[in-house]
Each structure stands twice: as structure tokens, then as C-alpha cells.
Amino acid sequence: MAAPRPGGRPISHVILDLDGTLLNTDSIVSRVVEPFLVKNGKSWDSKKAHKLVEKTPYEAAALVIEDYGLPYSTEEWCNIKPLPGANRLIKHLRSNGVPTALASNSPRSNIEAKISSHEGWKESFSAIVGGDEIEKAKPSPDIFLEAAKRMNTGPSNCLVIEDSLPGVTAGKAAGMHVIAVPSIPKKTAEFSSADEVVNSLLDVRPEKWGLPPFDDWIEGTLPIEPWFISGPVIKGFGRGSKVLGIPTANLPAESFSDLVSEHTSGVYFGWAGLSTRGIYKMVMSIGWNPYFDNTEKTVEPWLLNDFGEDFYGEELCLAIVGYIRPEANFPSLESLIERIHEDGRIAEKALDLPVYAKYKDSPYLRNPLQQANSANGQAELNSK
């Protein structure tokens, strides 16, 4: 959904939600619920976590802890990883002098605790408003109106960024412009009341709203903090080769559940190392592949090289270093294939740039045990 340029008074202030928007609170749910299920002899099913997420991740996990007396402290809860693009967005707004507030239904003390472990966050907010400081929580507009008041500005000057439907409803009821970043997969259609819906904070374009643009995009790509995964290549179902004509080395998400939960769906690129063949350029999708309507989140790398033969059993190591675009649906198989090849061309060119080329020499691509944040798993190469 394309964002309209705001009419009338320009956007000058930003109000951010916390849980699910800036912080990956979904990981709290899995960290609390999974040990409980395992302890009771049941298997963890990540799909069922969404039933708790819809309540709000922090509240759902807190409820489980209270009901079952699980041994987790508040301190453990507060060390929550930021979502992709959160640090980037906060630093950008602060460095460009854009007044920014934090407005969350969580109690003020919880907000303070959760942001305390993230350097520079507290100092970046002109105002912080907790759910215990207003009469009615979201979807009431009270919390956003109070945030605007504390920043000495009017509602029409404010841009709200929210992950939940109650938050979007609250922002619109406050008379503000709203960007929705849905935290629940495949729920984008439910956010039609928002002025713009984006896949992740990586896809926020401030210039659409009259705010200073990011200056870190390079030839249609965004450098990211590198992440690394590896595993042996095994035979797969062959959809990449048989349907798309593109043999992909798929990484089953269940083998990398922690890493996958930390990274937003979309198209990435980087370097791939094969134990007996060398290092190659690579473009990769992570997500639900809307055209095929996957029920599970998958990781599907495409090595940009014509090998001419299968290489099952070889160790495949990936260094993911850049981002191209959000996950998208396509009206036809032809348009999907065309876009995949375009992604390949973008990655092929970008990986020659120094900012990305330097990772070709990463020791991890030759020996994953040398990389501290490595992840084990199995890679699946679709048969040709």
C-alpha cells in the first residue's frame, strides 16, 4: 500500500509503539511457553504462539508465567532484542532532530526496564507514556494524545508507527497519520485503516511524510549487520528447479527458529561457501512466499552460479550481509520469476561494492566453527 503525502500541516513529530514494533517481544512468548510444553511432554508448535501474540506478546507471556509459576525473572524479560531496523530508525530520527515519543500500553516501569538495556534509547525520546499514565489504553486515542501534548504539538503533526490493530485504531482516532508494521504474519489486509502498511521497519521511508530520508541505501540495497547459517546440502522437493527454473538451497526454518524469528521476511543477499567448491554470490528469500502461500516460514538461498550438477552432502555456509526488498505477492508465476531474476541482478552487482565484498573473506564461509554466532541446520538443494 503506497503512502499518501500528508496534506495540510507537515509531519514534524513521530510516536512509536514498543512491544512488537521496536522490540521482538514474540521471542518472549516462545522462550516462556516452549520450556513449559517440553516439561509437560509436548512438542513446541510455533504456529500456536500467534494465539498468545494477539493478546500482546508481553502480556501473554506474563500470563503464562503467573498461571504456571514458571521460574523467569523480570530481569530476564527486560533483555529483549530490537526488531530489524529499530536501532536504525531511532538513531535516524534523533540525529535529524525529529522529536520522538514512545507510547506503550505497558506500565511505565516496564517500559523503562525494557529500554534500559538498549544504549541511547531512553535519551532519544522526547516523551515516554505508559498505559498506567492514562485513563484508557489502546484502542482509545488517550495515550497518543498525551504523547503529543507532552511534545507540545498537535495530533495532525504526528506520525504513529504501530504493529497492532488496536494501536492503529488508537492512532487514527487521535487524528494522526499511522504506519502499520503488522507483527502477525498474513494479517496485512486487516490494517486497511492505516495510512501505510509496511513489512518491517527496514521499509519505512520517512521522506514520504516530509521527514529527512535515510542516507544508507546503496544502489537499491541496504547494508545490515551480517548473520550466518550453515548445514549440509540435502535433496528437497524441487519446487525451485521444476516450477521456477531456479535451483535454490533451502534452509528449513525449524533448524534456525531463533535466527528466523529475529529477521523480518524479505529478500536478502550475501555470500555462500561450499566446502569443496569455493565461495559464490547468493540472493535469498526469507518468509512465507505469498505466491505459494506457505504455512511455514522458509529460508531459500539461490547461489548465483551454474553448477551443472547436484552437490548433495556438501557443507553450505551463508553470510547474509544486505537487504533488497520486502516479501511480496505477484499476480502471475511469470512476474514472480522476473522479479527473482531482478533480485539476482541487484545482488550480483551490489556484492562487488566494498561494503559487501569484504565479507567474501569471512572465515565462517570456510569453517563455520570459527564464527561465534553460527547456527547449525540443514540446507536443502532443490533437485534440477
Catalytic annotation, residues: 17, 19, 300
How many whole angstroms separate alpha carbon 71 and alpha carbon 65?
Answer: 8
Which amino acid, 267?
A: V
How many whole angstroms separate alpha carbon 342 and alpha carbon 178?
Answer: 31
How many whole angstroms separate alpha carbon 353 and alpha carbon 351?
Answer: 5
Contact 44, 38 (CB under 8 A): yes
Nearest to 304 by CA among 277, 326, 323, 279: 279
Contact 356, 321 (CB under 8 A): yes
Q: In this structure, how many other beta carbons lie within 10 angstroms of the beta carbon of residue 65?
A: 19
CA distances, 296 to each of 24, 52, 135 (Å): 19, 18, 40
Contact 138, 176 (CB under 8 A): no
Residues 6 or more apart whose CB falls under 8 angstroms from that of 226 comprise 270, 319, 320, 321, 359, 362
CA distances, 85 to each of 56, 111, 123, 167, 240 (Å): 20, 19, 18, 19, 30
Residues 6 or more apart whose CB falls under 8 angstroms from that of 308 comprise none
Matching residue, cell 489504553:
137
Which residue stretches of 159-316 are H helix?
Answer: 165-173, 239, 257-262
